[in-house]
Chain A
Amino acid sequence: MSALSFEGLNVWFGEGRDRVDAVKGATFQVAPGETFGLVGESGSGKSTIMRALTGLAPHWSGHMSVNGRPVGRRRDKEFYKTVQMVFQDPYASLHPRQSVDQVLSETLYLHGFTDIEPRIEKLLDDVGLGPSFRFRYPHQLSGGQRQRVAIARALAPEPSILLLDEPTSALDVSVQAEILNLLTDLRAEHDLTFLMVSHDLAVVGHMCERIAVMQFGEIVEILGVDEMRAMQTTQPYTRSLLKASLGYIRD
């Protein structure tokens, strides 16, 4: 049974002549323990798939399921205990007037935990932040530290599936390496399944086993990481994307 399954997923925004079809007929499965990458240019619908799954994009049709359980219009607590999301910009996704302690304890409280104290310490430890960070506010943290807090918050309900929406694109390369290593460690420790969106093919290649290439809301191709590295692709779009990501070549 796959951890995540999407079948003929359509997502749209707006109505009538303003309607934009952001995702058209997306079908793919993510196996438990796998890291699956979604790549494509901005506007290709890669983040929208995640947002539809978590209920942030309300207009969708098709079929989505998590660990074999279909996702309905309303998501229950069980869903949010299983699936959590880390957002792109750690400067925007943390409340500026809530300390790390408040962010984590509220999340834990909402998920019905009673042993909040030890859990906060454990979470901070898990993401490589010491207890000294507990009572800090976001403006007292660097970008990488903020992203660690965002990851700790996502891990709070002990999910099995983590959705990563460009988790390192707002960070410097040296910090990016730390966060990617942290994610790799957490995946091994907690048996996590990752669905990851990124425009950086090197990052996706480093993290993921299989990659779906998207263009104009459709999945152009799904390929394994070794095929991607070897540029074994049948689709011209994938090839041009791979070529562009190799950098600037003067002709």
Chain B
Amino acid sequence: MTDLLDVKDLWVRFPTRNGVFDAVRGVSFKLGRERLGIVGESGSGKSMTGRAILRLIRAPGQVEAAHIRLDGEDLLQKSEAEMRKVRGERISMVMQDPKFSLNPVMTVGEQLIEAYQLHARGGKAEARRRAIEMLEAVSIRDPERVMRAYPHEMSGGMGQRIMIAMMLIPDPELLIADEPTSALDVSVQAQVLQILDKLVQDRGMGLIFISHDLNLVAQFCDRVLIMYAGRVVETCDADKLHEASHPYTRGLLNSLPRFDAPQERLEVLQRDPTWAAAPSVGPSA
């Protein structure tokens, strides 16, 4: 199997007054056409990893890696202009909160049509047709009305579905979803996940699913990377996450209140400095 994405020895660095801060430290992984989950606490570098793949880290932040290959092409060798062709068209990203990622003064329709016209040469009528098609693909019931609406008229779940629709218009090979359901209610979360799931299966898309929710990742993804302090401490099959061996993963799992098994007190994670010092776990090549 050829890998869709191959990341080797990725570092993200931020120079600060007190020396260089390494947000991501030597992360390597490979991704096929599958659902890869990245979990960790805030500050563990999971979002930075997602952004670094798209080279979305702004100066003074620096991205370094041996290579970030998409279908064998190294993204790090590309010029900024070439990178713009990759973003959206080949790799798309869905951010956490739809409220901040949609333009508040454009209607949903205008934004979707713009997204299409940026990537494909096509008339306005064609763009409109595609936009409505995509809204239907993310199970929005009344796409004509939604096209005319402004983002503030949408609920959070609708907004996130619109974001996904927009990301899908150029038909990317890889979708990076950064906490796509964290801002949503549980019932809406299920709908959004179903849509993502269907897209991965129907289109053969690769998906990187960044989340802090271990249970969700265990249920939704095929494979999981667990990050701590900028490193991958463990990688395992998602359905075996509950048998994970690293003390950090175990600690996180045990600190969750269980719906089915009540306990008096919750276990508190005891951190060990050696976790942060140990090198990243590489890809199981």
Contacts and interface: CB of A to CB of B under 8 A. Distances in A.
Contacts of A41: 185-188
Interface in B148-187: 156, 185-187
B257 A202 contact: yes
A244 B252 contact: no
Given A172-B41, A241-B187, A250-B220, 20 more contacts: A41-B186, A42-B185, A143-B42, A172-B42, A173-B214, A173-B252, A174-B269, A175-B41, A177-B266, A181-B265, A199-B185, A203-B257, A206-B258, A206-B266, A229-B262, A244-B186, A244-B189, A248-B189, A249-B219, A250-B219
27 contacts: A41-B187, A172-B41, A174-B41, A174-B255, A174-B269, A176-B255, A177-B256, A177-B257, A177-B268, A178-B268, A180-B257, A180-B266, A181-B268, A202-B256, A202-B259, A206-B257, A206-B258, A206-B262, A206-B266, A225-B262, A229-B260, A244-B186, A244-B187, A247-B218, A248-B216, A249-B219, A250-B220
Interface string A232-251: 00000000110011111110
Interface string A172-192: 111111101100100000000
A33 interface: no
B154 to A, nearest CB: 13
A184 B187 CA distance: 29
Contacts of B3: none
A100 interface: no
Contacts of B264: 184
Contacts of A176: 255
B120 interface: no
B197 A205 contact: no
B196 to A, nearest CB: 10
A176 B214 CA distance: 14
Interface string B246-274: 00000110011111101111111100000
B37 to A, nearest CB: 11
A42 B187 contact: no
A177 B185 contact: no
Interface of A: 41-42, 143, 172-178, 180-181, 184, 199, 201-203, 205-206, 225, 229, 240-241, 244-250
A172 B212 contact: yes
Task: Give the interface centre of B156, B197, B269 by most chain A CB atoms within 10 Å.
Answer: B269
By Cβ-Cβ distance, the 3 closest A-B pairs, closest first, are A206-B257, A177-B255, A177-B266
Interface residues of B, number: 34
A32 B218 CA distance: 39
B267 A177 contact: yes
B35 to A, nearest CB: 11
B120 to A, nearest CB: 32
Contacts of A206: 257-258, 262-263, 266
B268 A229 contact: no
Interface string B219-252: 1100000000000000000000000000000011
A248 B219 contact: yes
B77 interface: no
Nearest to B253: A173
Nearest to B201: A250
B66 interface: no
Contacts of B268: 174, 177-178, 181
B118 interface: no
A203 B266 CA distance: 11
Task: Give the interface centre of A176, A229, A247 by most chain B CB atoms within 10 Å.
Answer: A247
A173 B190 contact: no
B215 interface: yes
Contacts of B260: 229
B262 A248 contact: no
A172 B43 CA distance: 10
Given A173-B212, A173-B252, A244-B186, A42 B156 contact: yes
Nearest to B156: A42
B103 to A, nearest CB: 23
Contacts of B256: 173, 177, 202
A250 B197 contact: yes
Contacts of B263: 206
B193 interface: yes
Contact of B259 (A178, A199, A201): A201
Contacts of A174: 41, 251-252, 255, 268-269
Contacts of A201: 186, 259
Contacts of A184: 264-265
